[in-house]
Each structure stands twice: as structure tokens, then as C-alpha cells.
Structure 1
Amino acid sequence: MTPGISGPLQQAQSAEPERQGNPMSSILTNNSAMVALQTLKAVNNNLAKTQGEISTGKSVASASDNAAVWAISKVMESDVQGFKAISDSLALGESTLAVGKKAAEASTDLLTQIKGKIVAAQEENVDRAKIQTDIDALTNQIKSVVGAAQFNGKNIVNNSDFTSILSSLDRDSEGNVKSASISFNGQNLTQTTGSLGTGTGLTDLSGNVSATTATLSSAPVRDDGAAVPTNADISLTGDFSADSLSFDIGGTTVSFAAGDLDTTATTAAGQIAAAINAAQIEGISVTNNAGTLEFASTRQFDATTISVTQGGASSGTLGATTVDLAQRAEDFTFSGVNVNKGDGYQINIANAGITATYVASAGDTMEDVAKGLKLAIDAENNADITTAVSFDSSTNEWTLKIDNANATADTVNVVANNDANDNAVETGRLAGLDGFDVTTKDGAEAALSNIETLIQRSIDSAAEFGSVQGRVETQSDFVSKLTDSLKSGIGALVDADMEEASARLQALQVQQQLATQSLSIANQAPQQLLALFR
């Protein structure tokens, strides 16, 4: 330590050997000024960056700020724009579905009103002609509703065309993007009568029908060629006076106690026939032919089993204890295979002059085919031809039953094909409605059996639209929240922290002032050399 020197001067002298750089003074090179200038530039750069963050609100405004983060944010921003377009698509689809659903619901309400008119027409003492006028007016109103149910030119209740609503953009880990859609088929609630396709591209579908030709036998009873005839005999032999007999005829029981019947079989058969006929079992009659009970059925669509239980002395002899009476109608069974759009089935009933056609819409089943053909036949309003539809759950098959009440037999031919050339006209799901005729008792009964089918179809259509609309609403809500999440994620990547930027701005402004002052001082250092030359 130098004697007599202490404090800051002593510290300055102690630090002297550790200085870096050239200690000499120069009028050509001002190291202090260069250091101060670099410091000022750095402060100005940071200040400019901070001011840019404050003015743009972004910490990463360009690729030069942070290339990786900027690239990610731009991809996410493009997805946000895509989802905005998807949101618009979902809004359009939702509105279209809402219009279609409202039309289907309105049609259901009108069909329900028609049902009320049809029920009223079942009475004998009503003015059926006026009721028919009301039904015609309601039918025309349904046509008006279906025809007007369009949104931006799109009508989803007058055809079964495939409709797709853009619902999402899916990006995988490799950056590949593909779109996703909510798809559904329109519900053809028109009353259009379908027509089969023509041309060389037709596929034969006759294998889906149990018979392509058949004979509708004449009324009142017939032998349809099956193993079970509509006539059945039970012969009586011997003495039945001490016997008890119980006849179960399709669920109706006619019983005779021991002592009720005569000792002579022929007389006993007459007593039995008289008692059964007196029971007035619908469609069933029996005659006594010299001791033989000859049963006959005019039931159109129901087979009947007759079983006899014998008790008491059991001295008399029965030729049979169980016989069956077949239905009068002819069956056409449709297999449970898938039904494709354009599948066409046509039934021609020659003498009755009936040609009934059903061409499937998208989503139809064999139930729709069988019931559609029934509606088409009934729409011809031929009093001799009556129809019914049944389902066998064990075989999953639908059967169309056709009965002929005319005294002359008739011939039925069935044509079935699929139109590969796409020139078939699909049958409207409400086809046959404009053929309802309640001015007659038979017509009122046919309309009552068919209106339920049309109401159910309309209900199913509204439910289908409602289900899809629910999906669209859910997806729309999800897309909205997803877009918000993406925006939030982009903000987390590139947005500036304004509190931090504000504090940094003030600090940098102070640093700028200090750096400016330091540079000013450094620039004045060479002037000190002038004192050495005085």
C-alpha cells in the first residue's frame, strides 16, 4: 500500500493492473465511445422490440421473431379459419334440417286429423261424402307443406337423396388434413306413385318374393293348392248320446254334455251343426251331410284350427279330432334381405285391372315394400280386392295377403328388379294417401288400416331429422368451443405479456437515457488531450 493514500483512490490504484485493453489515450480510437455506442444500440433494439410488442400485441409477429412458434401459430390460424367456415356450414345444415323436421311434424299433425275423419267414417249414419271432402283438403295441404319445405333451395322432404353437412377438419400427427361430415338421407314425404326402372342394367330380384305368379280363387271358399284346404270334414259314427264333446273353433268353444246329443250319429251331427252356426263365429259355417260335419271358412286372412275333445262314455267315433281351415287370401312373402334405393316391386292383378308399384327409397326395409304395395293396391279402390300385411318374427319375413271376393278367379303376377341405370322413380312415403276413399264402408275400412302406416312413416321422418339436427347442434357447439380453444392456444404462443412489456419499456427508456449520456461523456474524452498541449 502506498503511504498516505487510502479510500477510493487506493482502490482505483489497486485495480489498475487488472484493466483490459489499451490504457493509452488516442484521438483516433475512442474505445469508451464505441462501448457506449454498442450499449446504446442494444438498448434501442430492445426498446424497438418492446414498442413493437406493445403496438401489435404480439411477442411473435413474424417468422424472424421465432420461426418455430410462428409456423405453429400460422397452421393453427388456418385451422381457425377452416372451423369458421365449418361453423357456417353447420348453421346452414341445421336450418335446413329444422325446416324439414317442421314439415314432417306438420304432416304428422295433418295425418292425425285425417285419421280422425276416417274413424268418423266408420259409422253408418254419417255423411261420408262430406268427410271425404275434408280428407281431400287435408291431403292437398300435406302436398303444399311438403312442396314448400325448402331452405336456400334445398328440400329434404321431397326425395331420399343423400345429404352431407361438413362438420369437422381432422389433422393427424403428420399434418395431413381430411374433412368429416354428418350425413343423412332425405325423407320422401311426397305422394308420388313410383315406377320401375327399364333397360338392360336391371337386376332380377324375384328371388326375394315367395311367388311371382299366383291365382286368386273365387269367393266364397276355395282350395288354394296348399296342404291345408279351406274346407274340412269331421265324420260322426255310432252313438254319442252318452258322450261329451267340446269343439274349439279358432278360440271359440261350443260344448255338449253327456245326454245332449241324439243316439243317431246323423241326428247328432245336425244338432252339433245347428249349435255351432248359432254361435255366429265370424267367417265359419258348418253343414250336416248325412253324419259328416262339413266346415267352411270365408275368413280372408286368418287360418282356423278346429279341435274336438271327446269325453264321457266315448262310445261314438270321430273321423278326426283336429282339422285346419286355411285363409282365403293368397300370400306373397318378402324375404328379410336388405333393400336398396331403386329396388322395385310391382303386382299386377289381371281381371281387377290393378297395377301396384313400389320403388324403394334410401333406408327402406321389406316392411316398407310390403306395406307400400298394400297401399298401392288399396288406392285402386276395387271392392273385390282386399289386402293385409303380417310379420313372422321367427323368419323375419313380411307377408302381403291379397284376397279376391269376386265370383271369378283372378291372376296375380309379380315383377321385381333393381334399377342399375337409375331411371326408376321412387315411391313417396305418403303414396296412396290421395287414393283414400271413405265414401264406401270397404273404402273406409281400408283407409283405417293404412292411415297408421302413413302416420308412422311421417313420425319416423320427423324423428330422423330431429336426431340428425341434435347431432348438428352438438357439433356446432363443439366447433365453437374448439375454435375458442385454438384461439387461446395461439394467443399463448404469440401474444405479448402487456404487463411485462410495460415494465420493460420503462426500464429500457431509463437505460436509453443513461446510454445516451454515457456516449456523450465518452465523446468528450478526446477533448481532455488539449490540456496537455497548453
Structure 2
Amino acid sequence: MVALETLRGINKDLTQVQATISTGKEVSNARDNAAVWAISTVMSTDVESFKQISDSLNKGSATVGVARNAAESVTDLITEMKTLVVSAQDDLNADDRSKIQADIAAKRDQITTIVSAAQFNGVNLVQGTEDSTFLASLDRQSDGTVSTSNITVGRQDLTTAAGVFGTALGATPSAAFADVDATGTNSSTTDAATGKVLQFNITAANSATYSLTVNGTQLSYTTAASGDTADTIRDALAAQVNALGIEGLTVDASTTGELSLANTNSFTDITALSTADTPGNFVANDNDGTTPPDGNALQTLEQRATSIDLSNTASFAEGQGLRVTLGGDSFSYVAGKGETAEDVARGLATAIGSASVTGVSAQVQYDSTNDVWSLAVDDATGSQTLTVVANDGAGTASGGLFGLDQIDVSTAADAAAALGNIETLLGNSISAAAAFGSDQSRIESQSEFITSLSDSLKSGIGTLVDADLEAASARLQALQVQQQLGTQALSIANQGSQSLLSLFR
């Protein structure tokens, strides 16, 4: 019986070793080791899931790569368009301008074609505003809870769509988004072509020095011991101001005892400071209709343009927009996802520049002290009502290249407006390409991590369940020898019992 039991044990061990060698696994099912098998099975399912995640990331990288290439191509074409617009700043005849305009139109059409075709697997990231998400990871918590993580890629709309403004709000809600000339209202009257005027009152004194500092340059006149009048002082300083040759600055010396400076610059301020030996003898007494609190303080003669200050607290959500009305003309821009007050200001400037309204121009400005973006609107004809209103937030966003289809260099004025617009559009396309490049880099980094993680999991599973085939082979040989010996021992044992029985015959 001992020999038989021994042989049975050897055969059982031999069967297990043969199974280990044939499967290559120490633990191939729950019977071998329930705990290890459960752990390895969960890890194996995660590895299979990571294969799907890797496929998703590869698709995402390809999709974003197509969009990045499209944005870079658009950037190159807009750069070429900018070169053409710059060349149109020269004094050209109508035929030359027509040729430049034809080249601009051809590049614009090529941009439209690129934007329309830039799709992968039906997804076009350079049209619309809806984000795209790609499966990025499988997250297993210590309590066994499983969740997924995604990488979100924002679309960068490079279409020329004007958007839909929608329903306008009333004056008070609109002023919360943008007020005119920091008055807390949403309407104002534009300045006349003569611009804003700063007046200085002069009182003559003998043997006295009168100084006027304009844009940092100090001018002065010293009176004689007797005989000099206020008009003498006025005329002397007026001649010096005119000699400076400051663009847009005109001097009026026609009123007795008074010197007036007018700023007709559309978008440039001028500063002036008056001083005299006797305080009060040379003071600023009127700055565009307002009496300065300190006539001997530095005065700012503001630009002629009317400033629309955009709120630095009221955010612009997707679909939120502004409409500027000047006289009988209206200009609108509706924000897309993630756009800021700066984007809205630049969009409105593009809308105004693209409309090519005679005498109307716009410039985006930033007040770093108060962190406020402004849209300066200049009306060369003057004295028209300018109003800005916000919509109810339910508009349809304007495209990122809104205004591109209106780039026109047919006249010198159109070419000047086009230069500012093309710069904004170029910035938009560069930002889009940079955003896609960043997203693609992130996706590729995640893909590399998932590949590395899968390899680590496979290695860990192998450590848990894989057999040591060298040890198993050696054990197989040993068990085979033991099996042979056990068989012989059992045979001998059987022969011994037969010999014992023969004694009783």
C-alpha cells in the first residue's frame, strides 16, 4: 500500500508539472491559487482596456495633427496676405490695387478650402466651437471603483462666419458689459473733426518765465522788464509749439490772453503742463469742456476717438456679444468659447474695419493700470451718436477668421484698415496652431505613458502567474525518475506477495 500511495503522489505531481510546462503558468486557473488568479485576472482586463485607450489616443493624435497642420497652413497663407496688404500701403494706381486684391482673394479661397477639408474620421477641429474629448486613462481606486479620464481638445474655429447677434439687452444691462468714455452709460456723441481742445489762460507779468511742456518737451518764454502782454506770451509759445511738428496737434492763438491746443489724432493722447513764476498766471482752465481741478497739473488732451471700455468683471460666455451702432451703421461680434474682453474688442475692431465706412476707424487699446480693454472708435465726420449694446447671451459665435472675407485694399483707406484686421486674424490663426500643438503633445505624452503602464502591468502579471520553466523542467525529470522507481517498487512489492502465497500451496 505504501508503494501504491507513493506512486499516486508522484503521478499527481507529475501531472501538475506537465500542466505548468504546457501552459507556461504557475497559476492558470482559480484552482491553482484563487487569490493570485483573481488579482492577475483583474490586471489582465485592465491591460485589454488600455489597448482600447491607446487606440483612442492614437486617433486623437491624428485628429489634432490634421487640425494643427491646417492651422499652420492657414497661418502661412495669412502671412502671405499680410505681405500683400503691406505692399498696398504704397501710393498705387487702381490697376495695381486690383492685382493685389485678386491675389488676396485667391489666398482667402485657399484658406476656406483648407478649413473645410481639415477633418479626420469625420471630426473637424477648425470649425465650430464644441470641444472634442478622447479617452485617456482607466483609473482604478483602492476600493475597486473604476472611472475613466479624458483629454479635452478645444475647437479653434477658423471660419469666416459673422455669427448671429440675437436679442439685444436694454441700456442698463448693456452698460454692465461695456460703457462709453467711462461715463457708466452705453451711449455718447462722437467728437467733431476738430478733436478735443485744451485751453490755457495767461496773465502777463514783467521779467517772468512761462513754461509749457508738450509731450515731454519743455518750451518757455521770459517776458521783458516791461511791455510784454498776455498775447505776446501766447504768440511766442504758439510759435514754439508749432515748431515741434507734433502730428495732429493744432494751435489756436486767436483769443486774447488765451492759448488753445487741439488734438485731432484719432488714437493718440497728447500731454501738456503749464507753469509760471507766479502760480496762477499760466493755468489750464478748460479741458474739453471740463475745468481741471488743478490748472498747473499735467493735463492729458485725449484722443479724438470715443472709447468703449469693456468690463473687466463681466465675463463673455459663448454666445455673448456686443453691437456698436454709429449713426446708421451697426457692427457686431459674438464671443466663442473661452474668449475674453480682448477678443471681443478685437472682433468689433475687425467688424468696423471690414465694413469700410467712410471716416470710421477703430483701434483696440489696453489700460494696464486699471486692467481694462477698450475699443476706440473714431468718426472723422463727428457729432454722431455712438451706442453699444450687449445681447442676451443666446447668439451664435463669430468665426475666428471673421472679417477675412472682407479684406479689401481697393483704396488707401481700405488698405490701412485691412492692415490692422489682418494682424488680428494672423494672431488668431497662430493661437489656434499653438493650441493644437500643445494638445497633440499632451496626447502623445499620455499615449507613451499608457504604453509604458501596459508593459509594467504585463510584467507584474507575469511575476504573479508565470512559471519558472527551468525549475519545472528539472522537476519533471526528477518526477519521471521517481515514477519509474515507484513503478518498479510496486512491481517488487507485488512479486513479494505472490512468493508468500506459494508457501501455502
Does the TM-score normalized on the shorter chain lie above 0.5?
A: yes
CA separation of 1:41 and 1:251: change in aligned 2, threshold 3 A = same
Aligned partner of 1:235 in structure 2 is: 201
Which residue number in structure 2 is paired with residue 333 of structure 1? 309
Unaligned runs of 5+ in 1: 1-33, 223-229
Q: Tell me how far 1:455 sits from its aligned partner.
A: 1.7
Q: Are residue 371 (structure 1) and residue 366 (structure 2) matched?
A: no
Superposition map of 1:14-163 within 5 A: 34-125=1-92, 127-163=96-132
Residue range with higher mean Cα deviation, 82-91 or 359-368: 359-368
- Correspondences of 1:440-455 after superposition (within 5 Å): 440-455=411-426
Letter in 1 for 2:465: V
- Of 174-183 and 522-531, the range deviating more from structure 2: 522-531
Question: C-alpha offsets along residues 63-114 of structure 1, whole Å, 9 cap, x if unaligned?
Answer: 1111111111110000000111110011011111111111111111111111
Report matched runs for 1:282-431 at 5 Å. Answer: 282-288=247-253, 289-310=255-276, 317-320=281-284, 321=296, 323-337=299-313, 338-351=315-328, 353=329, 355-406=330-381, 409-419=384-394, 424-431=395-402
1:347/1:413 contact within 8 Å kept: yes
Native 8 Å contact 1:243 1:315 kept in 2? no
1:519 aligns to what?
490
Per-residue deviation at 1:287?
1.9
User: For structure 2, which runs of at least 5 residues remain unmatched after alignment?
Assistant: 285-295
CA RMSD for the aligned pairs?
Answer: 2.5
Note the C-alpha offset of 1:257: 5.4
- Structure 1 residue 260, shift from structure 2 partner: 13
1:221 aligns with 2:190: no
Shift of 1:267: 4.1
Between structure 1 and structure 2, the one with the greater Rg is 1
How many matched pairs? 483
What amino acid is the match of 2:211? S
**Pair 1:260–1:305, CA change in 2 (3 A):** farther
Deviation at 1:164, TM superposition (A): 1.3
Query: Distance in 1 between the 2:349 and 2:464 partners?
Result: 66
What secondary structure does 2:378 align onto?
Answer: strand
Secondary structure, aligned partner of 2:31: coil
CA contact (8 A) 1:239 1:316 kept: no
Task: Give the counterpart letter for 1:330 in structure 2.
Answer: T
Q: What is the CA distance between 1:120 and its match in structure 2?
A: 1.2
SS of equivalent residue, structure 1 residue 155: coil
CA displacement at 1:429 relative to structure 2 = 1.2
Matched position secondary structure for 1:379: helix
SS at structure 1 position matched to 2:194: coil
**Aligned with 1:358: secondary structure?**
strand
Q: Hey, what's the Cα distance between the residues in 2 that align with 1:325 and 1:261?
A: 33
> 2:192·2:383 contact (CA, 8 Å) conserved in 1?
yes
Residues in 2 aligned to 1:387 and 1:265: alpha-carbon distance in whole angstroms: 40
Q: 1:524 to 1:198 in 2, by over 3 A?
A: farther
Give the share of equivalent positions with the same residue, in percent: 44
Task: Give me the whole-angstrom Cα distance separating, in 2, the residues matched to 1:509 and 1:316.
Answer: 121
Deviation at 1:42, TM superposition (A): 1.4
Bigger drift between 292-301 and 482-491 goes to 292-301
Q: What is residue 273 of structure 1 aligned with on the other side? A: 238
The answer to whether 1:482 aligns with 2:457 is: no
CA contact (8 A) 1:122 1:444 kept: yes
CA distance in 1, matches of 2:451, 2:154: 26
**C-alpha displacement at 1:268, in angstroms?**
4.0
Determine the C-alpha separation between the residues in 1 that align with 2:40 and 2:340.
50
126-135 or 362-371, larger mean C-alpha shift = 126-135
Kept in 2, the 8 Å contact 1:214–1:411? The answer is: yes
C-alpha distance after superposition, 1:415-469 (max 9, x if no partner): 33312xxxx3211111112212222222222222222222222121111111121
